[in-house]
Amino acid sequence: MTGVQTCALPISGAQSAASRSAGAGSSDVVAAWMPTSWDADNAWASFRANLDAIDELSPFWYEMRVDGSLGTFAGARDADLVGQAHAAGIPVIPTISNRFDGEVAHTVLADQYLRAAHIDAILYEVNTYGYDGIDIDYENLR
């Protein structure tokens, strides 16, 4: 699959950008996950083509490291993308992945010092780069 991937999630009281502009009463929220380290050209084209339908944007920018720090993927911290999304009223909520490695996640989350370092790293990125939140995508947890 290429480009911006979207799915509609029903969230009580929220309306998508498209339904707000149309005056409809939909409660769907369109969250777009955007790759920037692979297929970036198609992802950007899809993002621009769908600005009016996206309610929140989660670029795949970070990975959890075993020392609690964050690794970055190509295209991470893209001020141009953040600026364009914000100009369109779209919150930017980057994704952090554990790359399906449950052992890394367990090591970091089970140790109070590594967990604190991880939280600090997340807060630093959110506050430094003007994000609206963070999408934590840790899978294969034990």
- Cβ(117)–Cβ(67) below 8 Å: yes
Q: Does residue 26 have a pLDDT over 60?
A: yes
Q: Does the pLDDT at position 21 exceed 70?
A: no
E strands present in the chain: 5-10, 28-35, 56-64, 70-72, 95-97, 135-137
Calpha distance 80→97 (Å, rounded): 22
Residues 95 and 64: their CA atoms lie apart, in Å, by 10
* 97-106 pLDDT tens trace: 999 989 999 9
Q: How many angstroms separate the first and last alpha carbons of the chain?
A: 29
Mode of pairing for the β-strands spanning 56-64 and 28-35: parallel
**What is the average pLDDT across 105-127?**
97
Confidence bin at 27 (pLDDT 50/70/90): confident
Angle between helices 102-110 and 112-129 in degrees, nearest 10: 100
- Integer Cα distance of 108 and 121 in angstroms: 12
* pTM (predicted TM-score): 0.81
Residue 120 tokens read as 């600090």
Region 62-79: what's the mean pLDDT? Answer: 97
